[in-house]
Amino acid sequence: MHNISNSSLPVLLKACELTKTYEEGPIKTEVLRKVNLSLREGELTAIIGKSGSGKSTLLHILGTLDTPTSGELLFEGVKLTDLSSSEKARLRNQKIGFIYQFHHLLEDFTAKENVMMPLLIGSYTQKEASELASEYLAKVGLYDRQQHKPSELSGGERQRVAIARALVTSPDLIFADEPTGNLDALNAKTVFKLFYDLVHAKGTTVLMVTHDEGLASLCDRVLRMQDGVIDA
Ligand code: ADP
Ligand code: MG
């Protein structure tokens, strides 16, 4: 296991002294306590930590889905706190992908429509979106399942659709929150390997939460989180 970053690679995302505190009446919950972190281009970093240690909160803040209580976040050197919410939404759509433990696919839409969605939200035409969605579903081995709805797919297949949906916009950065957490060990490994090969081929930067030491050890770098801090 290693947590030393390959310092010759450029930094894509840098977090400085991030904190997140929830206040409900007199009760304060410090979920993040001065997190410092740099994600370098093309690196696949795993975060391991107990449930409740703040991993999902950290991913949401790094992915601009949530805001920190204090601290600074720089994406390609640009301060994210200086961006308006529409600029952040554009950054998310164009440069960031998310994959969750429970895929979050839209149940009323086919696999292909789910993968087309981020392209249609962006500036792609229907035809471009259709072609790219098919291409990415083929990459995850689901070319012949494009017209199936999520309920007609297995757990592993649904996670593969979610991977295709996250990758289809060619984001620079992907956040994956226990992307294989609801799969059995064999399926988890197969889906992870597929994901790993795809992101490495494209040089995508990835931050992945996992409970699985085996999968973490396959990543370029492993961080450990405990009570809202990343162990040095
Ligand atoms: P992990 O992903 O490592 O399991 P989370 O980031 O989901 O951890 O949660 C970290 C802590 O933050 C937990 O103790 C959780 O109860 C608390 N928490 C998360 N969201 C809220 C919220 N909206 N209000 C208060 N506490 C919260
Ligand atoms: Mg979590």
pLDDT mean over 163-174: 93
For ligand 1, whether the C-beta of 169 sits within 6 Å is no
For ligand 1, whether the C-beta of 31 sits within 6 Å is yes
Give the pLDDT confidence of 58-115 residue by residue, as tens digits. 999 999 999 999 999 999 988 988 889 999 998 988 899 999 887 789 999 999 999 9
C-alpha of residue 130 to centroid of ligand 2, in Å: 32
**pLDDT score at 1:** 45
Ligand 1 site-directed mutation target among 51, 57, 224, most atoms within 8 Å of CB? 57
Ion ligand 2, residues whose Cβ is below 5 A away: 56
Q: What angle do CA 112, 114, 120 make, to 5 degrees?
A: 95
What DSSP character marks residue 141? T
The band of 9, judged by pLDDT with boundaries at 50, 70 and 90, is confident
Domain boundaries, the chain: 42-56+83-231
Level-2 CATH architecture, domain 42-56+83-231: 3-Layer(aba) Sandwich (3.40)
H helices then E strands: how many in the chain? 7, 10
